[in-house]
Amino acid sequence: MEARHAVVGGEQIDRVLSHLGSRSIVLVGMMGAGKTSIGRRLANLLHLPFLDADTEIEKAANLTIPEIFEHYGEAHFREGEERVLARLLASGPAVVATGGGAFMSEETRQRCRENGITIWLKADVPVLLERVRKKSNRPLLNHPDQGEVMRRLLADREPIYRLADIMVASREGPHQAVIAEIVNALDALLRQRSKP
């Protein structure tokens, strides 16, 4: 714990929370970018609730995400995702990890603008592939050439991810370094926006 505070001080945390108010910190980016693992640690550091949109969708549907895709299709999943994120964003402040495709919805982006600060966790395809290969719950990667699918998804989504308030590189290495970068960027952005 002390190592974290050597990088991110208590005063800085207090300032971020004060400027954040009732808004949430919303993590966006590709599957495998680290939204859940970084989000949990960031929420812990800031003493905020951590909300994982995918987990909340599964709870609401009483089905896993692969089951939702299989039984109802992606369009149905996206509608549920919009509803769940609307509910999560209305309950801030919190750290919210979104699914990889959530930010593609204009309605969700608008809600994020109104109720949150968005952070794009940007990672390169090799890093993303290495991380997602460890899990079998990625319906969009149910394809023989996962690398091709990942490159195509990233090409489609990156222009939209760029609309996020902040971009932080998600890379291999200690999570604390990425979290410190997020807190520093949040502090700078929120201070700038709070100026009269």
61: domain CATH number is: 3.40.50.300
- In a domain, residue 154? The reply is yes
What is the mean predicted confidence (pLDDT) over 37-48? Answer: 95
Mean pLDDT of 146-166: 90
Map tokens 């954040």 to a residue: 20
Domain, as residue range, for 28: 2-190
What is the helix (H) or strand (E) element at residue 9, kind and residue range? none
Name the region of 32 (left: φ>0; alpha: ψ -120 to 50; beta: rest).
left
Q: Say yes or no to pLDDT of 32 above 70.
A: yes
In a domain, 139, yes or no: yes
Residue 50 lies in a domain: yes
Domain assignment present for residue 82? The answer is yes
Residue 106 domain-assigned? Answer: yes
Confidence category of residue 6, pLDDT binned at 50, 70, 90: very low
Mean pLDDT, residues 27-47 taken together: 93
User: Which residue would you say has higher pLDDT here, 9 or 72?
Assistant: 72
Inter-residue contact 19 to 191 (CB < 8 Å): yes
CA distances from 159 to 51, 162, 166 (A): 25, 5, 14
pLDDT confidence band for 5 (50 / 70 / 90): very low
Closest among 161, 168, 149, 153 to 34, alpha carbons compared: 168
Instruction: Kindly state whether residue 131 falls inside one of the protein's structural domains.
Output: yes
DSSP 32-58: TSSHHHHHHHHHHHHT--EEEHHHHHH
138 in a structural domain:
yes
Q: Which residues pair with 26 in a beta bridge?
A: 96, 118
Q: What is the pTM of this model?
A: 0.88
Residues 45-57 have pLDDT tens digits of 999 999 999 999 9
User: Does 156 map to a domain?
Assistant: yes
At 121, is the secondary structure helix, strand, or coil? strand
Q: How many structural domains are present in the chain?
A: 1
Cα separation, 43 vs 73, whole angstroms: 32
